[in-house]
Chain A
């Protein structure tokens, strides 16, 4: 049994089911409150019948600073998925999909060109999930992560910057078919 709604600060006190999972990062209070304060409609949770949070998505809408307006890496007004997590026992029920759709709706309402996210190149499950939801690789960010999820001998791992066009991008100007061929470096990503 699940209900979807906007995040409220008190939800942090019910995060155990999600955040005790080793794959979910717990941030400082400031981080959660920042998203709640600035982009409340892009911070959504799913709760079970006991009120425990069994999934949540945190996102934002922004564009690159104006100083980069003429850079090839400039990002226009867009939504960004910062974190998406579902408690282990609540997986494979479509909760992640619904949370992502809610964020996309909110991004559409705020007139975003696209929604993007970063995912480890080795995280095949997540990449498959996002591809099924209409996301595609826009570019590869070399050594974006300081460690490698599956190979401890390697000191870094590439990220896929994946995107899905929103209503505003009727002509799909901000996505690429051959994104995996486009490599950039972490300093090109703001």
Chain B
């Protein structure tokens, strides 16, 4: 926001400045400077001048700041002048400009006027949003020194010193110093609090310099954990004032969780056990159990700690605690469930196998306790998710016994034969068993039983339970997806489409169906489903990859910004990052100062850093640029995009996809269903950086010829060529390093494409280098060209061949869209590179004719020509694959699909979802296009 001029400036200048009449404002400021000699007007003049759109004045503010720093200019201590300069230099300053210049100037100005509280706070806010911790810490220290009676400045100072001690903005040596400083300061505040008498009224005053609030206690724990010794951290537990149990007694369990987490990391199990026991059995003032700590996490920790610390008595001790908890009056259902499951966990974790005492029917204590839990909680929608991890721990015989004998017994005992939810639970258990390596029964039979039950549950004569039907449809689809053939994927799609027509707002159905459509290449329908899910704003970063990742390789038209929907999709994506990362640090960090929320002050920067360096943010640029290029729009200016500059060389990008809303019904041994449906491995730093480099490569050689009336070849001058060569060298260097890492994070087509890119970059570099002797260089070039041809041939071999007709061909081709897309991409890279090689060799030839030089090998020229042809052929083959889908009509595809699914036994004539075949055929064809 534009700052207003300081009080006392005349109305004429104020108005010109406020109205953005920059030439007038600059002239008026100059005349006021002459009249008053006030250096502030010089700054006003500079700031007004640099708003005029002229290259000569654009950087005036940046230059002025450097001058202030260098010359100790009188305006350097003027906060109003600094506000103006900060605003005026915003658009032209480098990313480090603030922390190198404005920030230090602000800190210096605050030191010069330490009693100007308002200006100091404003400067501190500015330093925080620009993430200049060094200056922020100095300002906070000045505030603390200047206002020792205002306790919040003390804690601002401590918190910011701590933040600096853990940031990259301080060098290693300084980090230690700042860490020690923060530790000493907070320990002093803790000591004041420990020594204060209970009736001392100063505690509630604003000048009290001891720790008082929960947030300050959190800060104490954080700093001692980071910079204190183990003994100092351990001592916190025994502190009357700050012990975690004491805090828990006061209703705050944050410190208890924080403390025990650290102890667990250190393996201090005896201490954890004792703390968990005390916390769980803690009583309220009226003598009843408090249950504040009766969370899954605490109970889990209790069981784990008992296993480490309590020897052979562990299970007994834990059992007693759990029994006491279970007997608490007024126990809520969620607490009861936590405790019951902890009991199962205790058996599985603490009971040695040899003590599990098999019973006459072959059962054992593990199974008995598990069945006990199921008997009690089967009606709970989360029952299966609760027990699934224990199912994974059972051996083959136990699993069989559970599925075939024990659970049916529970069914008989509780007369649950007709309870849909119970039957679904049994099928889920069986499904999980079938996804373990130790289960020999086929999925096919289970799938048939699930579908039979689905039809029964949906039959018009029985009242339909939407949850049961949805779970059955999803279970059957899971089986289909695991079976993996195209006909099974189509069948799963039909079934889920049918179910969605009955339950239109079921999120899990929508998610699974969207992934199925994406896997089948039916992107248009996937897009409709994605729209229905209304993923937006804050959840974009972790949910967008479910839909967008690699989408431009499959269906670039779907994201085309020319189409309203495509523009909206892309905009949602890009807008989130623009809004959330508008300033180097999120402005809400400033709120933490005034609310004195130190835990938030420490947590927000970590979150923002991960968001800035997220692979999804990189994907947003790769997809945006590739979509534009493949749709024939002007090449995106990759090199000027902050996403490219901030991410391409960042060592550790953060990658996270939130799969939480997908059903988690598979064994942990199996690849999760949502992973099976992806085009390839989840986003990784390496993959997105390869994508960024590919887009930069295209940007480097693009001539923007698609921009109407604007055709400027990028390499028109020698300077352009030098820039291109230099940039290419950097890109190639980064790419080579990335490709050296052997990881399974690329699809085979991507791996080949990026290898090809690396190869052609090297070729261009070699051909641009006129220092090399032809005898040495030509054989290398020739070999590289052979490798390029081999790479293209390899990609071509992966393209689907038109062996079948009808739906088999359509399904196979549409499932290969990503490979087809990458083949086109590789062909395009090679074509650009070969054209460049020809141009470079042409220039070289001209120079050789004029000045004399190396003779060019005709064989090499012919080879380049032939590689160019190979690239052309690969592009045509890929294009032909897509064109081969063009001759189908919905009727045609429908009858083929019907026949195919019936023939393969995936569906029968009576299937309730058979009516979806036409819709699915239409969806498939709607996505076919060049």
Which residues of chain A have a CB within 8 Å of any CB of chain B?
1-6, 8-10, 12-17, 19-22, 26-34, 36-41, 48-50, 52-53, 88-90, 93-95, 97-98, 105, 109
B603:A27 contact, CB within 8 angstroms: no
Contacts of B214 in A (CB 8 A): 41
Q: Does B167 contact A (CB under 8 A)?
A: no
Contacts of B664 in A (CB 8 A): 50
Contacts of A50 in B (CB 8 A): 385, 660, 664
A37:B251 contact, CB within 8 angstroms: no
Contacts of B611 in A (CB 8 A): 29
Q: Does B840 contact A (CB under 8 A)?
A: no
Contacts of A21 in B (CB 8 A): 507
Which residues of chain B have a CB within 8 Å of any CB of chain A?
214-215, 251-254, 257, 295-298, 300, 332-334, 337-338, 341, 380-382, 385-386, 389, 505, 507, 511, 533-539, 541-543, 576, 579-580, 586-589, 591-592, 595, 597, 599-601, 603-604, 606-607, 610-611, 656, 658-661, 664
Known: A2-B334, A13-B656, A15-B658. Is A36-B381 also a contact (CB below 8 A)? no
Contact check: which of B382, B579, B599 meets A48 at CB < 8 Å? Answer: B382
Known: A3-B297, A20-B533. Is A27-B660 also a contact (CB below 8 A)? no
Q: Complex formed: what's the CA distance from A14 to B607 in Å?
A: 13
Q: Can you show 16 pairs from A to B with CB atoms below 8 A apart? A: A2-B295, A3-B297, A16-B659, A19-B539, A22-B534, A26-B534, A34-B591, A37-B592, A37-B595, A38-B595, A40-B599, A90-B382, A93-B333, A93-B334, A95-B334, A98-B334
Return A53 CB to nearest CB of chain B, in Å. Answer: 8
Contacts of B337 in A (CB 8 A): 1-2, 93
Could you list 18 further interchain pairs (A-B, Cβ under 8 angstroms) beyond the known A29-B576, A89-B382? A1-B337, A2-B295, A2-B334, A9-B603, A9-B606, A10-B606, A12-B542, A12-B607, A13-B541, A14-B660, A16-B658, A26-B536, A26-B538, A28-B538, A30-B580, A30-B586, A38-B595, A94-B333
Q: Complex formed: what's the CA distance from A28 to B536 in Å?
A: 8
B332:A15 contact, CB within 8 angstroms: no
A37:B579 contact, CB within 8 angstroms: no
A12:B381 contact, CB within 8 angstroms: no
Return B393 CB to nearest CB of chain A, in Å. Answer: 14
A8:B658 contact, CB within 8 angstroms: no
Contacts of A36 in B (CB 8 A): 588, 597, 600, 603-604
A94:B332 contact, CB within 8 angstroms: yes
Q: Complex formed: what's the CA distance from A78 to B257 in Å?
A: 28
Contacts of A90 in B (CB 8 A): 381-382
Q: Complex formed: what's the CA distance from A49 to B341 in Å?
A: 11
- Identify the closest chain B residue to A88 (Cβ): B507
Known: A21-B507, A30-B579, A37-B591. Is A1-B660 also a contact (CB below 8 A)? no
Q: Complex formed: what's the CA distance from A8 to B600 in Å?
A: 8
B586:A48 contact, CB within 8 angstroms: no
Contacts of B533 in A (CB 8 A): 20
Q: Complex formed: what's the CA distance from A40 to B297 in Å?
A: 21
A12:B538 contact, CB within 8 angstroms: yes
Contacts of B543 in A (CB 8 A): 16, 20
Closest 5 CB pairs of A and B: A9-B607, A52-B660, A3-B295, A37-B591, A33-B588
A32:B538 contact, CB within 8 angstroms: yes
- Most central of B296, B600, B606, B610 by chain A CB within 10 Å: B600
Q: Complex formed: what's the CA distance from A12 to B535 in Å?
A: 13
Contacts of B334 in A (CB 8 A): 2, 93-95, 98
Return A95 CB to nearest CB of chain B, in Å. Answer: 6
Q: Complex formed: what's the CA distance from A15 to B540 in Å?
A: 11
Known: A2-B295, A98-B332. Is A37-B536 also a contact (CB below 8 A)? no
- Identify the closest chain B residue to A15 (Cβ): B539
- Identify the closest chain B residue to A109 (Cβ): B251
B537:A29 contact, CB within 8 angstroms: yes
Known: A2-B334, A16-B543, A33-B586. Is A49-B591 also a contact (CB below 8 A)? no
Q: Complex formed: what's the CA distance from A53 to B542 in Å?
A: 14
Contacts of A52 in B (CB 8 A): 660
A12:B539 contact, CB within 8 angstroms: yes
A48:B385 contact, CB within 8 angstroms: yes
B341:A1 contact, CB within 8 angstroms: yes
Q: Complex formed: what's the CA distance from A22 to B508 in Å?
A: 12
- Identify the closest chain B residue to A39 (Cβ): B595
Return B321 CB to nearest CB of chain A, in Å. Answer: 17
- Identify the closest chain A residue to B298 (Cβ): A3
Contacts of B215 in A (CB 8 A): 40
- Identify the closest chain B residue to A90 (Cβ): B382
Known: A28-B579, A37-B597, A48-B385. Is A14-B658 also a contact (CB below 8 A)? yes
A6:B539 contact, CB within 8 angstroms: no
Contact check: which of B505, B606, B656 meets A22 at CB < 8 Å? Answer: B505
- Most central of A16, A27, A48 by chain B CB within 10 Å: A16
- Identify the closest chain A residue to B533 (Cβ): A20
B658:A1 contact, CB within 8 angstroms: no
- Identify the closest chain B residue to A8 (Cβ): B603
- Identify the closest chain A residue to B299 (Cβ): A1
Contacts of A13 in B (CB 8 A): 541-542, 656, 658
- Most central of B338, B603, B660 by chain A CB within 10 Å: B660
A40:B597 contact, CB within 8 angstroms: yes
Return B258 CB to nearest CB of chain A, in Å. Answer: 10
B333:A34 contact, CB within 8 angstroms: no
A16:B603 contact, CB within 8 angstroms: no
B507:A20 contact, CB within 8 angstroms: yes
Known: A9-B607, A27-B538. Is A3-B296 also a contact (CB below 8 A)? yes
- Most central of A8, A31, A37, A52 by chain B CB within 10 Å: A37
Contact check: which of A6, A17, A31 meets B254 at CB < 8 Å? Answer: A6
A16:B660 contact, CB within 8 angstroms: yes
Q: Complex formed: what's the CA distance from A95 to B338 in Å?
A: 12
Return B597 CB to nearest CB of chain A, in Å. Answer: 5
Q: Complex formed: what's the CA distance from A19 to B535 in Å?
A: 8
Q: Complex formed: what's the CA distance from A27 to B576 in Å?
A: 11
Q: Complex formed: what's the CA distance from A116 to B537 in Å?
A: 27
